[in-house]
């Protein structure tokens, strides 16, 4: 029997979010609350999940909007007490223009905060012993600032650090908190990449790895392991050395 019956996923219209929705629908989730910004894709995901027996409700939403995100989360919790929330919505930066930089941080950092904070308020106000878990999507790119994607790697680093700090603090409140750091996984973001993508993974495989990590309450769900090891090694090198390594990497265009 699935531990988490009522699941909310932001950024569920494609990529990892879509794969997670389909995975949990097929694993016995009772209620799925899904949001995204593309109505056509989100409807397609919802229909596929309903066909697997889940009760699905969707919302066209930009998680950068704090008030609307909080209102949607509260409404979902009223319909079915949330057990697991994925703050998953994210964007790539592309060219480091002012507009794109603001958009990246507004979504990748602000969107996560706008999701996690109201969920924590709901969880803390709950008096029963039902499961309460939150998972945030960072990235292997969050291990160290990358000159090929400065804003993206910085935004994901912020999410990773915040999540790793929250996890032990929330453990005392019996709230599970997990940080997800995937490598290259098929999504609308990677579809735009022109750079090499080692250890490329399909989204359903990534969703299975993430779901297993959530069930086992692994604090940092980082994969694939060769990329995790490489990112960690580079992150502990002196900056003068890591800069030389990064200078050899191709730029994303």
The string of pLDDT tens digits covering residues 118-134 is: 999 999 999 778 899 99
pLDDT attached to residue 249: 64
Split at pLDDT 50, 70, 90, the class of 40 is: very high
Q: What is the dihedral of CA 199, 228, 45, 69, to 10 degrees?
A: -150
pLDDT attached to residue 146: 80
Domains of the chain from N-terminus onward: 6-247 (3.40.50.720)
pLDDT digits (tens, 9 = 90+) for 189-226: 765 666 666 777 899 999 999 999 999 999 999 999 88
Percent of the chain predicted with pLDDT > 70: 92
**Separation between Cα atoms, residue 62 and residue 41, nearest integer Å:** 15
């Amino acid at each position: 029997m699935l531990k988490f019956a009522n699941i909310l996923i932001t950024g569920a219209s494609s990529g990892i979010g879509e794969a997670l929705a389909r995975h949990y629908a097929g694993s016995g989730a009772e209620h799925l609350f899904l949001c995204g910004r593309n109505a056509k894709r989100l409807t397609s995901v919802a229909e596929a999940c309903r066909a697997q027996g889940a009760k699905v409700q969707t919302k066209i939403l930009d998680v950068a909007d704090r008030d609307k995100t909080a209102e949607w989360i509260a409404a979902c919790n009223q319909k079915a007490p949330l057990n697991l929330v994925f703050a998953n919505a994210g964007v790539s930066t592309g060219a480091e223009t002012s507009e794109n930089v603001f958009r990246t941080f507004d979504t990748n950092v602000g969107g996560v905060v706008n999701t996690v904070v109201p969920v924590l308020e709901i969880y803390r106000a709950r008096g029963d012993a039902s499961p309460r878990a939150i998972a945030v999507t960072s990235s292997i790119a969050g291990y160290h600032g990358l000159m090929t994607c400065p804003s993206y790697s910085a935004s994901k680093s912020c999410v990773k650090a915040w999540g790793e700090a929250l996890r032990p603090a929330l453990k005392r409140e019996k709230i599970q908190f997990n940080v997800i750091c995937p490598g290259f996984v098929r999504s609308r973001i990677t579809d735009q990449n022109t750079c090499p993508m080692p250890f490329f993974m399909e989204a359903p495989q990534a969703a299975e790895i993430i779901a297993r990590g959530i069930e086992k309450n692994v604090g940092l769900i980082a994969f694939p392991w060769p990329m995790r090891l490489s990112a960690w090694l580079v992150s502990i090198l002196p900056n003068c050395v890591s800069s030389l390594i990064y200078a050899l990497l191709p730029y994303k265009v």
